[in-house]
Amino acid sequence: MDKKILAYLNPISHLGDTHYSFLFPFLLTIFIYALFEVLAYFISMDPSAYGVYVISLSAVLITYFSFRDGIKGGFTATVITPGYYFYIMYSRHYTQAQLTSGIETTIILSILYLILSTIIGGLKQKIDNLIEQEADEKRRLQTIIQQLPVGVLITDSKGTIIQGNKKINAIMGTKLPISLKIPLTQNGKLANPSQSPLSQALITGKPVVGKEFVLEKEDEKKTYIQVSAAPILNRHGRVIAAAEIVHDVTAQKELEQRKDDFVNMASHELKTPITSMKLYIESLLNRIKNYNDPRSKKTLHSIKEQTQKLQKLVSDLLDVSRLQTGKLTFNKEKFNLDRLLKEVINELRGTAKKQKINYLKRSSVIIYADRFRIYQIITNLITNAIKYSSNEGDINIGLRKLNGKATVSVQDFGIGIAKDQQKRIFDRLYQVNDDMGKTFPGFGMGLYISKEIIKRHRGNIWVYSEKGKGSTFYFSLPLKK
């Protein structure tokens, strides 16, 4: 017989199925009773010899349908059965005494069958509801596990993986097959728990929190992971499974490393020369204060002013935590953005030995912002354009008003930025790499600080770039307060 038919008939295969049938018990009960009559009349010469088996057959049918289709199936078979009994009494021509006894027996059996179908059918439906609730809980848990931003592994008590999510496959760089066994023993001895938090959780019955490992994948890239594991206990306190959470902390590790490198580099490379520069300027000012040389005095005062600005900028770079905590203060005022652009361009033209800086003025714009911070942003963008344009070429600066905003653009025709790096260039301490993996000079802080300053002015900053053809950086600021 076909496996599907056997599964359909088998009541065990319907456990957990709450869709109970009325038609199947109705038709099959009638068919079996009809088949029984055929056997009684045409196979056996004595139909009454089969009567003793009717009650047993009815009990089996009612039990079967109650177990397969719950109360509905049991009631259906129970209702048909008295009808069949009355048909037997009619077809067998029961006499008065037999008829009375038959009716009484039918009533008593009907009540018993009704009780039987209610008990078995009720138990069946309760079991089905429990199975369905468990299945629903399992589906909910599976959905939650699959949507978690961390990798999840669940094993049985022997360390065999029984469940995992998509994130764990992404972290490991390969699909972990279900039924893969986590080794709990090595050479007949217990495995070293330090090598596997899951093993430790299963062996000791205690949770393991925050262990870090380094994975080396086939592409030779290292992935830093933080792993926590915990045993799953039954009500008797026995370990029946274990769950492991794997968090990819590679980006965090790289960020911490860049931060450490930056702090060390900045403290040695920035503070010392700026301090020395200030001392030399003060010394020169003291030496010429009695001389009648206003031009030199003006130049030195200008140098001193620029040094103080640089010192303030370095202080802001080293104290970047102010940006993270929102404690960076702004001294906002109304000023002419067009004049500020001209000022910065004139200051930086001397540093552009090969490039020509063009100011493509579109309109005069008055904005309300922190003048020094906007000066800082413009200086950073133009300096970057000069730095990343190693060949001769123009650097075009633009200003325009559009939709209640002032938009500044800085265009260069230099090396450009790869698409996979454009999303990260505004991240803290991120440095652009070339095709050989080489990073360009700088601390990876300028664009991050520019982004944060613009953000706190309710503006936007973005870039359009094509590798090998150059980049155009934009930032916009609202014209109103």
Tell me the torsion sign for CA atoms 47, 53, 57, 59: positive
Are 459 and 342 within one domain?
yes
The backbone torsions φ and ψ at residue 319, rounded to the nearest 5 degrees and listed phi first, read -105, 45
**Does position 320 have pLDDT exceeding 70, yes or no?**
no
Query: By three-state DSSP, how is residue 226 classified?
Result: strand
Are 353 and 408 within one domain?
yes
Residue 233 located in a structural domain: yes
Greater confidence, 460 or 9? Answer: 460
Residues 160-175: what's their mean pLDDT?
82
Are 231 and 344 within one domain?
no
Are 34 and 60 within one domain?
yes
Residues 140-148: what's their mean pLDDT?
87
Are 347 and 429 within one domain?
yes
Residue 43's pLDDT is 63
Are 166 and 190 within one domain?
yes
Are 40 and 134 within one domain?
yes
Q: Would the pTM count as exceeding 0.85?
A: no
What CATH number does the domain containing 171 carry?
A: 3.30.450.20
Which of 212, 231, 248 is the C-terminal boundary of a domain? 248
Are 197 and 230 within one domain?
yes
Q: What is the DSSP letter of 446?
A: H
Strand partners, 355: 393
Q: Is 42 exposed, middle or buried (0-12, 13-18, 19+ CB in 10 A)?
A: exposed
CA distance 136 to 98: 55
Least confident of 153-157, 224-228, 362-366: 362-366
Element (H, E) at 124: helix 96-147
- 472 confidence band (pLDDT: 50, 70, 90): very high
Which of 289, 318, 347 is the C-terminal boundary of a domain? 318
Residue 323 located in a structural domain: no
Q: Which range in 150-154, 171-175, 388-392, 427-431 is most confidently predicted, on average pLDDT? A: 150-154
Q: Which domain holds residue 415?
A: 332-478
Are 449 and 387 within one domain?
yes
Share above pLDDT 70 across residues of the chain, in percent, rounded to a whole number: 83
Number of domains in the chain: 4
Are 156 and 89 within one domain?
no
Query: By three-state DSSP, how is residue 459 classified?
Result: coil
**Are the CB atoms for 198 and 152 separated by under 8 Å?**
no
**Does position 468 have pLDDT exceeding 70, yes or no?**
yes
Residue 353's pLDDT is 75
Residue 193's pLDDT is 46
**Does position 116 have pLDDT exceeding 90, yes or no?**
yes
Other CB atoms within 10 A of residue 150 CB: 18
Are 313 and 426 within one domain?
no
Least confident of 61-75, 81-95, 185-199, 348-362: 185-199
Residues 369-390: what's their mean pLDDT?
88
What CATH number does the domain containing 354 carry?
A: 3.30.565.10
Average predicted confidence (pLDDT) for the chain: 81
Residue 51 located in a structural domain: yes
Contacts (Cβ under 8 Å, ≥6 apart) of 16: 127, 128, 131, 132, 135
Which of 217, 248, 279 is the C-terminal boundary of a domain? 248
Residue 108's pLDDT is 92
Express each pLDDT in 413-467 by its tens digit.
888 888 888 888 888 767 776 554 445 555 567 888 889 899 989 999 999 998 8
CA distance 367 to 377: 15
Complete DSSP assignment for 379-439: HHHHHHHHHT--SSEEEEEEEEEETTEEEEEEEE-SS---HHHHTTTTSTT---B-TTSPB
Other CB atoms within 10 A of residue 287 CB: 10
Express each pLDDT in 179-213 by its tens digit.
555 654 444 444 454 467 888 888 888 898 888 88
Residues 250-277: what's their mean pLDDT?
72
Residues 310-315: what's their mean pLDDT?
69
Residue 392 located in a structural domain: yes
Residue 120's pLDDT is 92
The backbone torsions φ and ψ at residue 245, rounded to the nearest 5 degrees and listed phi first, read -115, 130
Residue 270 located in a structural domain: yes
Residue 327 located in a structural domain: no
Strand ranges in 180-320 using DSSP code E only, listed in sequence order: 185-186, 189-190, 208-216, 222-233, 239-248
CA distance 378 to 344: 7
Are 357 and 467 within one domain?
yes
Residue 455 located in a structural domain: yes
**Does position 290 have pLDDT exceeding 80, yes or no?**
no
Residue 324 located in a structural domain: no
Element (H, E) at 12: none
CA distance 230 to 1: 48
- 64 confidence band (pLDDT: 50, 70, 90): very high
